[in-house]
């Protein structure tokens, strides 16, 4: 790590500490600089402005979030892993409320990629569910619904921290959303078997490929499967 990288990391850490300690979840650039022992022009050189520093803190928060996800035990049951992932998301929000709000609450002019990268992690988990035949809608649509619900209830709990003590409301929200996107929640009668099969095969091809097919053939098959998966009952 270069001297510039070390200084940048130290300023991000100082800003995150200040964010967590602040009653209004705000930071003062002067205080961040004083904590690290540099002048404000250094902050402007490294981050552009306060918005750039906040974006860097949010993106660093993603790295912590991703590390927790990577440490989560991955089983042979992708649906069970998805359930555990919901609870892990809530635990991250409880332990890092100010950082969580910075990552997931829209901020004007923000260029942070934290939320998009969390979304991509969820899509990857849902591709595994689709490959197992457990998904009723395509992974990105399912991810949008799940993440919106997960973030919404997490922010609600952050506003009233005592709510974190009772997992019931969170799990009820989870079960409602999962009953719509998953086939393995007791709601199978209205599932379209053709769409489910198309989603499963599409996900299997993304995960493992097909040695019998040329790349152009695989791309064409993926495109056909996408059309079936998005077409409703064919």
> Over the stretch 173-232, which tens digit does the pLDDT of each residue have?
999 999 999 986 433 444 567 777 777 777 877 888 777 788 888 888 888 888 887 765
* Residue 5 main-chain phi, psi, to 5 deg: -65, -40
- CA 104 remoteness from chain centre: 9
Question: What stretch(es) of the chain map to CATH 1.10.357.10?
Answer: 58-191
Mapping DSSP to helix (H, G, I), strand (E, B) and coil, where does residue 26 land? coil
Phi, psi of 122 (to 5 degrees): -65, -40
Q: What is the pLDDT of residue 212?
A: 79
Segments of the chain assigned to CATH 1.10.10: 1-48
Those residues with Cβ within 8 angstroms of residue 132's Cβ, 6 or more apart along the chain or in another chain: 78, 79, 200
Rounded distance between C-alpha atoms, residue 187 and residue 168, angstroms: 21
Return the closest-CA partner of residue 173 out of 147, 136, 135, 144.
147
Give CA–CA dist 143/79, Å, rounded: 13
pLDDT of residue 24: 83
Whole-model pTM over 0.75? yes
CA angle, residues 70, 142, 202, in degrees to nearest 5: 85
Distance CA 224, CA 80 (A): 30
- 22-25-30-33 Cα dihedral, nearest 10 degrees: 90
Cβ neighbours around 7 below 10 Å, total: 18
216 vs 221: CA distance, rounded Å: 9
Q: Which CATH architecture has domain 58-191?
A: Orthogonal Bundle (1.10)
| Confidence (pLDDT) at 140 | 94
pLDDT surpassing 70 at residue 135: yes
Statement: 1-48 belongs to CATH 3.10.620:
no
Q: Are 82 and 129 in contact (CB under 8 A)?
A: yes
């Amino acid at each position: 790590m270069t001297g510039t990288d070390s200084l940048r990391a130290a300023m991000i850490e100082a800003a995150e500490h200040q964010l967590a300690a602040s009653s209004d979840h705000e930071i003062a650039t002067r205080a961040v600089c004083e904590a690290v022992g540099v002048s404000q022009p250094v902050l402007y050189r490294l981050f552009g402005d306060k918005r750039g520093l906040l974006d860097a803190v949010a993106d660093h928060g993603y790295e912590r979030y991703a590390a927790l996800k990577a440490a989560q035990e991955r089983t042979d049951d992708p649906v069970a892993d998805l359930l555990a992932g919901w609870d892990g998301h809530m635990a991250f929000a409880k332990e890092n409320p100010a950082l969580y709000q910075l990552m997931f609450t829209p901020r004007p002019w923000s260029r942070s990629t934290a939320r998009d990268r969390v979304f991509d992690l969820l899509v990857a988990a849902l591709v595994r569910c689709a490959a197992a035949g457990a998904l009723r809608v395509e992974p990105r649509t399912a991810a949008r619904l799940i993440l919106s619900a997960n973030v919404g209830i997490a922010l609600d709990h952050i506003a009233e921290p005592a709510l974190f003590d009772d997992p019931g409301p969170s799990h009820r929200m989870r079960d409602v959303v999962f009953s719509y996107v998953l086939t393995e929640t007791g709601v199978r009668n209205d599932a379209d078997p053709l769409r489910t099969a198309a989603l499963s095969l599409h996900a299997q091809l993304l995960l493992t490929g097909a040695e019998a097919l040329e790349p152009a053939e695989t791309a064409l098959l993926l495109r056909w499967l996408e059309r079936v998966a998005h077409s409703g009952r064919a």
